Amino acid sequence: MAPTTASPFITIRVDDGKARPTHFFVQKDVLCRTSPFMQARCKPEWSQNGNNTIILPETTPQAFQLYIDWLYHGSVCPSKYATLEESSKAYFVLGTAYVLGEILQDIPFRVAIIDTLHQRCLPEDFEPSVAWVVDIITVIYNGTTNASGARRFVTDMVLVKNVSAELWDYSDELHKDFFRDLARTYHLKGGTEAASLRWTSPGCHYHANDLDSTCPCLIADEPKHGSGNQSAKRKTLSRDEGGGVKFLRQNRVERWSDNAGILWA
């Protein structure tokens, strides 16, 4: 769904305290499409002196730019913010963007980010450095809750990529909940073998923040009242020409496309 030309622009001020604040100008109907947080903040009672400005102090300009690109173009492509020699920076931006999705309560964006991370880390020849793993653990665990699907993603990745032993050298630096979750995954959730099965399966295990909840990508497929029974189909991933990830459907366009601002192929 394209934004309406009459939609007013909202100023987003991103101020992470590390540099001068960065300002973004986004059409209101685009900004509010999938984010309950933005829907609330765009109400008149939240505006600062009537100037349509929203301040985001807990993210980075790169992460918010990734969000804007996703809102307008429907794909996630972090490589545009980092050269090939700085690939670890792209992963850091993705992790920060996931946390931004938590802040904005934007479930479709959060799903797109975790699927992009999963797709990039999935190949068997992907061997993350310990420093990279420490960075992604720190970003995810400092910005999410105990039930986060991203935390399950991180612990499974550590087991599948066999880097858990090396992380003990960073036990004083890493979030205390990480080692608890890692031990639980290893001893109570089937260990490396079960993690490998989850890792190579469709990414729904990492989508919902509560494992008892239906995966968001399946909720999008539930039939409307009176439409009869339909079975939910899973999305599959495809790379666009820019190296980003888009979600493809078999035989039809993703139903979210009309109400979530996602330009699905």
In tens, the pLDDT along 21-61 reads: 999 999 999 999 999 999 999 987 766 556 788 999 889 99
**pTM of the full predicted structure?**
0.77
- Spatial separation of the C-alpha atoms in residues 238 and 265, rounded to whole Å: 9
**What's 78's DSSP letter?**
G
Residue 12 is assigned to a structural domain of this protein: no
Closest Cα partner for 107 from 208, 39, 27, 233?
A: 208
pLDDT of residue 49: 55
**Has residue 183 been placed in a domain?**
yes
Q: Evaluate whether residue 23 is within a structural domain.
A: no
pLDDT of res. 238: 44
Cβ atoms < 10 Å from Cβ of 65: 18
**How many domains does the structure of the chain reveal?**
1
Q: What is the C-alpha radius of gyration for the chain, rounded to an integer number of angstroms?
A: 19
For residue 183, what pLDDT is reported?
A: 92
Per-residue confidence in pLDDT tens, the chain, 265 aa? 455 567 889 999 998 887 789 999 999 999 999 999 999 999 877 665 567 889 998 899 999 999 999 999 888 876 665 554 456 678 888 999 999 999 999 999 999 999 999 988 888 888 888 888 999 999 999 999 998 999 999 999 999 999 988 898 998 999 999 999 999 998 888 889 999 998 988 768 898 766 656 666 655 444 333 334 433 344 444 444 444 444 333 222 233 233 233 322 2
Is 112 contained in some domain? yes
Q: What pLDDT score does 213 carry?
A: 62
pLDDT the model gives residue 139: 95
Q: What is the pLDDT of residue 237?
A: 42
Which structural domain, as residue segments, surrounds residue 89? Answer: 60-222+231-258
C-beta separation of 94 from 116 below 8 A: yes
In a domain, 28, yes or no: no
Q: What is the pLDDT of residue 81?
A: 59
Is 43 within the bounds of a domain? no
**Does a structural domain hold residue 9?**
no
* β 9-14/22-27 pair status: antiparallel
User: Is 159 inside any structural domain?
Assistant: yes
